[in-house]
Every structure is written in C-alpha cells, then in structure tokens.
Amino acid sequence: MTTQSKTHSSHWGAFTAVLHDDKLAVTPYSGDPDPSPLLQNFENVLNHKVRIATPMVRRGWLENGPGPDSRRGADEYIAISWEEAYALASGELSRVAKAYGPQSVFGGSYGWSSAGRFHHAQSQVHRFLNTTIGGYVRSVNSYSSGAASVILPHIVGDMNEIARRGVSWEEISEHTEVMLSFGGLALKNSQVASGGLSEHTERGFIDKAAKRGTRFISVSPLESDMPDEAQGEWLAVRPGTDAALILALLHVLKANGWTDEDFLARYCVGWDKLVAYINGEEDGEVRDARWAAEICGIEAARIEQLASDLVGKRVMISVAHALQRAEHGEQPVWLGLVLSAALGQPGLPGGGYGYALGALGHYGKHHNQVSFPALPQGQNGVKDFIPVARIADMLLNPGQPFRYNGQTLHYPDIKLAWWAGGNPFHHHQDLARLRKAFNQLDTLIVHEIAWTATARHADIVLPATMTLEREDVGGAPTDRNLFAMQPVAKPFGEAKDDYSIFAELARRLGREEAFTEGRTARQWLEHLYGQMQVKCRQQNIEVPDFDRFWEQGHLQLPQLKDGGRLLRNLRLDPDKHPLPTPSGKIEIFSQTIADFGDADCPGHPVWLAPTQVPDAATPLYLIANQPATKLHSQLDYGKHSVSEKVDGREVCRIHPDDAKRRGIQPGDTVEIRNVRGSVLASVDISERIMPGVIQLPTGAWYDPVDPQAAQPLCRHGNPNVLTLDVGTSSLAQGCCGQITTVEIARYTQTAPQVQAFEPPVVLYR
Ligand code: PGD
C-alpha cells in the first residue's frame, strides 16, 4: 500500500514522504538548494528492531524498589502495559515530591529532541513538572555553547546578537575580503539547525564569496573543516591553542602600529590592560609570535605573515563552537572579538566578528518578522540549577559547593531524574563516571524512540513516537518556511507522543487541566498557530487560516534583514546605542569578571595551558567533533549513518606518519585508549589531519562490552568514553568534550561485533 505524499520537517531539512508498504521514500523540499544526505536516515528507521514497542521497567528496580543501583546499564527489562507504567511513574513522582520536594527532581532533560514546535520533548517535561509538582531542578546553557553563552554577555552584552543575529552570509558574500575562521566552517555542522532548516544556503554563499575573491583561511587541526568551495588556506593549529595564536596576532599588530587605536578607544574598554599583558608587563612573558609558535605549532614567520595579511582589509573573524568546548574555552571566544576590534572591523559591512558562524544552520541567516510561539512551560518554583554539563558532578556530590558566573552555589540532592528528548550517554563526557552518577539516583525515567544507552540505564522506559508518527508544526526563527508536519505512519507498537504520556500522568496526579488546559495536541497546534496569526495581523502579514495551512503543507514568512545590528549601531552612535555591557562598550577588560576573583578566568583574556596535553602514555590529541552522517546520536541506526561505518564501527582519522609509526594499515580495527577507558573504531589514514592528532566523531551509540567495568571498552566507537568531565572554567562550567589525549594501536584480537542496535534482554510476561 502506498500512502499519500505528506509534508514534514526535521532539524536537517524539510521534505515530503511517502510510505510504500513498510518503506519510506523521502524527497527533499524542492526549495532547498543543497539538501542534506541526513534525510536518508529516515528511510529505514520506522520499524527498526531497536525501536521500543511497549513500556518497560528495569528488573532490579521492579524487584527491589527505587534506590541507588549499580546494575543500571547492565540489567534486563520487563515489558509492561501502559496502565502499569502510568501507575509506576506517577506513583514514584508523587513519592519523591512528597518526601523530598520538587528540588529533588532533576528535569533539565537536555537534548535536541526532534523538530516540531509543540512536541518539543524538553518543553513537555518542563511543563509537566511545573504543573504537577510545582517545579524541578533545571539546567542552564547548552553543550553547544556552554562557555560562550556566559562570557559573551559580559564582553559584548548579548550572545544572540553576535551569533544568530550576527553578520549575515549574504553580507559576507558581498563585502568580506578575508574570512578568518578559527575552527573552520564545516558544512557538516551548518547542515543542521534546531527546529528546522529548509534552505541550506552556506555552500552557495561561500562559493559566491570565493568567486568574488574572498580569501578564506581556516585555522584548525583538520583540513576538512573548510568546504572545498571556499578554495581556502589551511593553517594547522595544535588543538586547544588558538588563544595563544590570537594573542600573538595582537602582539604583531600592536608592535607594527597596525591596530585601529581610534576604534579601540571609542568603542572598547581595557585595551591598555591587554597590551600590558601581551607585552609581558605583568609577568615578563612576552606573548609574541615566537612564544605562540612553541604552543600552537605554527611557525612564527607564518603568524607574522597572517597578521599583516589582515591589515587594511575587510576582515570577518569567526570562532566555532568547538573551540569553546574545551578547557578555558572562554578565551578564544573573547580573543576572536578582541582581534576584530583591534582591526577596527566590528560594524563595517561584511566585517567584524561572528561567533559560531557556520557551526549551525541558524547563524548568518535572517530572522522572521514573526515567529511561531513555543509551548508555554509554566512557572518553576525551584530556584536550584546547574550549568548543564555539571550533571555527573551534581549527582555524585550533593550539597557540595561549586563556582558559576561569579557565584558559589551548591549541588542539590537529586532522587529522581526525568529525561525526554536527550541522550546523555551520547552527549556527556567520561561515560563510566556518568554511569556511576546515574547509579546514585532512586529512579531514572526516560521517554525514548529507541534503545539508546540512556534508555538502557532507565528504570522506567516510556516508548515515544517519532515525528513521522504524529502531527506538529516545524519552524525556526531563522527559517522563513513554516511546515505542517503531517503524520506519515502509524505509531510504532504502542508508542505514544510525549504530550499524551504526560497528559495521562497529569490526570493521575490530579493536574490534568493545569497541564493540558483542556486541549488535545491538534487543538494546541491550532491555538499556537492562532497566536502567530494575531502577531501577523498586527504587522499586516497575511497568512492562511490553520486548515488551509495544514492542507497546503507550508507557508512562507517575511524576514528582517538586521543581521549585525548590535555592532553596526554601536559604531553609528555609541551614546545612542551603547552595548548592554557595564561600560556600554566592548569589554576587552571586564571589571565584573575580574571582581569574581576566579584565577581560571581573569578580567582580560589570557593564555592558560590546558591540563590535557600529550604525554608518554597518551601521546596524541583526540578531536571528538560533530559527526557528518547524523545529528549527534540521532538515528545512528539510519541508512546513511550505517552506510558510512566500516565493519559496523565509527571511523577515526589519523595522519599517515602516526599510522606508520604504529603499524596501522587502512581497514584495520584500532583501539583508542586512555585512563578512562577504550573504544574500538575503524580507521581512515589521511593527510587532511595534522600529525599528532586523531579524530573520532561523536554519535556512535555507546556499546560497552562490560557496562559495569571501571574502564569500559566501547566496541562501536563512542569518544565520550575517553573525554574528561571537567568544566571549561569556574566562570561558565561549560562542557570540555572536544579535546582529550589518547594512544591508538591496531586491535589484534578478534574484534567483538557491534551490539548497539540490538535491543536489551526483554522479558515478556
Ligand atoms: P541527540 O542525539 O540529539 O543528542 O546531545 P543530545 O542529547 O541533544 O539526542 C536526542 C535524543 O532525543 C535522541 O536519543 C532521540 O532519539 C530522542 N528524541 C528525538 N525526538 C524525540 C521525541 O519526540 N521524544 C522523545 N522522548 N525523544 C526524542 C547533543 C550534545 O552533545 C550537543 S548539542 C553538543 S554540541 C555536544 N557536542 C559534543 C562534542 O562535540 N564532543 C563531545 N565529545 N561531546 C559532545 N556532546 C554534546
């Protein structure tokens, strides 16, 4: 049987889909100039064996009741009815809330979930906990930009204005002469945007700019971080050392009288303090090109040449998310802004600073005049929170103090965590430590589409639908197209959408009306659409009524072309348009940060050596970056993702010199290890990575041979077994998952088969 063609949307593109018997055929949205191959991941996943068909309860939890348990991740499951699942989940939430209060429930539920404004899983969890038990311990910031989202408000006043609403690709393609990208502009990253991305335009704009003569320079350990269309230059930098390189560039500019002192005096504060630091007036250490060459591995003459190449040109500086996902990740973000200011570029057409430009499909785009409203989350009565990447610290150290953004806070004592739409056993660092942390809980409740490692650690598993099995509206504030996400298939097994699950749980907790406001999912869509219609009418924008929108599947919204306005307005008139910083200017020195008194993030940007540097036992850097074949860990069992694995394992990349030294041949299985554990991977030997560095992307589902081992071996290639779980600094406490150090060797034993997409043992009664 063939179904009608339906419109749909995802974080990596809009499409139409048709179901032929059990097979899904996906056609990219016709208006997309460069559709993502990730769309193919949808084709084989609807009825995959790794999907979860019924509610499940972990055997140890059912038999022994709630409480810390080291069998999480290694236990069997028992299939139960929805009736039993609702009773267990609502009963346990009531018990914990009554005994310990909502401050003992962690509802941060970090994760990208799926496209769709209403069924956004994290919003559903938050609304549910707020309306039923009065709140929950939340998390702030993200794994994407943990350090940047704290430092940027201090130094430029607003992260969004310098990132999503920064200088547009359109402007860059028309005006920029030199595009200097720390961390590159990889299209694998900009092919995704949370909420939806129906037009992939980065490749086209980069091509246009390069053909007009823009010189692209990518500073990265990986050549592949710059698209071929850029015809760019690759400056191979040692991982985690960009801050030293930028300090030296500033030294060369200043020493040669090439800095724009007028711009620095009028629009910035603290340049003199940074100059004193660069010149070694504080400690006798001059941060010149020779000093930086030792640290970052780029010759001093090349650093000097790069500085001179920037002078007198329209220069755009970008700093990728990846750079700040590392120890002292705040520093390159701060210094990228300072470099653009020293060149006098902020606020000029196609010039200045774009934080994370190219790191996601939202950035460098225009904003819709009106956006689709989000599901209201209600009031959270609990004040406690953690910076998102401190989850394991929180669970392992209840009551202990920690520093965050100038404050000393205390970790709450969590008994129950509720997770929907995220995969911490993908996104968090040091997975053996994370397992220990989750084992402290009384109860972990997870809603999932499939048996991810997070679902396999849960006590109660509630099977969720995929977007293809429910209706929603797909849209993002930077995507002019809004899509009706029409259901393509029936829910798998007994799976339900998160809203229906929470609505029934809320009913059992006597809070149904508060949670649902009397609306079905369809009525919520109509209600939210209606709110958008009102805003459109106020601005004389015509949009069809809901039924017509649903039938036609798609509509287009007008956009504002105001990218880069923050720094453009500052330049226009700093008195009329001061920045939302304490000084109203760019803060090269921040008195606020200095007053926090944290040595690992002082009042002006600095070079601070990381603790993770190669040594005899772990002589190589590992870059654990975003994957090209899926979004994070989503649909890792999808057709495209699986087709790029070798022997079922994720592929790591190594330079020929490093491979030769270790006798590693193309096609070998390798073991990558450090003190935290080891992973198996297949190998690609390539000149496109600098010597001394290997790369293994994130996203392969965690698949430990022995889940209870202190140093687990993941047979599938999840690099978060190896990464270190520390905060970027006391300021932001962001995630440091990007860089660690390892050794790599040929795996000479018979390599175990990957089991990641085999369901756990399930007992049916
Ligand atoms: P996803 O794989 O997107 O990863 O971490 P995140 O947890 O967001 O997880 C989303 C989960 O939601 C999937 O398991 C999916 O099946 C599930 N899901 C999707 N739709 C629904 C739904 O409707 N309902 C329910 N209940 N579930 C749903 C990503 C995080 O990883 C991010 S954002 C970044 S930037 C970090 N990057 C790195 C990195 O570069 N390096 C390392 N080492 N580690 C990282 N971790 C971070």
**Distance of CA 37 from the midpoint of ligand 1 (Å):** 19
Q: Which of 276, 293, 476 is nearest to 368 (CA)?
A: 476
To test ligand 1's pocket by mutation, which of 11, 12, 633 has the most ligand atoms within 8 angstroms of CB? 633
Residue 464 near residue 121, CB atoms below 8 Å: yes
Residue minimizing CA distance to atom 27 of ligand 1 = 421
Predicted confidence at residue 1, as pLDDT, reads 74
Q: H-type helices in 11-158, by residue range?
A: 59-64, 82-100, 121-133, 148-155
Number of the ligand 1 atom closest to the C-alpha atom of 632? 2
Structure-token match 């246009």, residue found: 208
Number of the ligand 1 atom closest to the C-alpha atom of 450? 16
Q: Give the binding-site residues of ligand 1, using a 6 Å CB cut-off.
A: 111-114, 119, 121, 143-144, 325, 420-423, 426-427, 447-450, 452, 464, 498, 624-626, 631-634, 698, 719-720, 723, 737-738
Q: H-type helices in 321-455, by residue range?
A: 330-342, 391-396, 424-427, 431-438
Predicted confidence at residue 252, as pLDDT, reads 98
Predicted confidence at residue 22, as pLDDT, reads 79
Predicted confidence at residue 119, as pLDDT, reads 98
Structure-token match 């390798």, residue found: 670
To test ligand 1's pocket by mutation, which of 117, 427, 461, 462 has the most ligand atoms within 8 angstroms of CB? 427
**Distance of CA 80 from the midpoint of ligand 1 (Å):** 27
Q: Of the residues 110, 143, 499, 550, which is catalytic?
A: 110
**Distance of CA 634 from the midpoint of ligand 1 (Å):** 7
Sheet strand arrangement including 215-219: 233-235, 215-219, 178-182, 315-319, 352-355
Q: H-type helices in 509-655, by residue range?
A: 512-516, 521-538, 546-552, 565-572, 591-596, 639-643
Which burial class, exposed, middle or buried, applies to 616 when counting CB atoms under 10 A from its CB (0-12, 13-18, 19+)? exposed
Predicted confidence at residue 693, as pLDDT, reads 98
Q: Which of 496, 505, 501, 504 is nearest to 469 (CA)?
A: 496
Verify whether residue 112 is a known catalytic residue.
yes
Residues of the chain short of pLDDT 50, as ranges, are: none
Residue 683 near residue 664, CB atoms below 8 Å: yes
Residue 431 near residue 720, CB atoms below 8 Å: yes
For residues 473 and 56, what is the distance between their CA atoms, to the nearest angstrom? 30
For residues 534 and 625, what is the distance between their CA atoms, to the nearest angstrom? 42
Verify whether residue 607 is a known catalytic residue.
no
Predicted confidence at residue 765, as pLDDT, reads 86
**Distance of CA 422 from the midpoint of ligand 1 (Å):** 5
Residue minimizing CA distance to atom 42 of ligand 1 = 737
Predicted confidence at residue 569, as pLDDT, reads 97
Number of the ligand 1 atom closest to the C-alpha atom of 634? 2
Number of the ligand 1 atom closest to the C-alpha atom of 321? 35
Predicted confidence at residue 692, as pLDDT, reads 98
Structural tokens at position 83: 């009736």
Which burial class, exposed, middle or buried, applies to 235 when counting CB atoms under 10 A from its CB (0-12, 13-18, 19+)? buried
Q: For the segment 590-633, what is each residue's pLDDT rounded down to a tens digit?
A: 999 999 999 999 999 999 999 999 999 999 999 999 999 999 99
For residues 658 and 685, what is the distance between their CA atoms, to the nearest angstrom? 9
**Distance of CA 452 from the midpoint of ligand 1 (Å):** 11
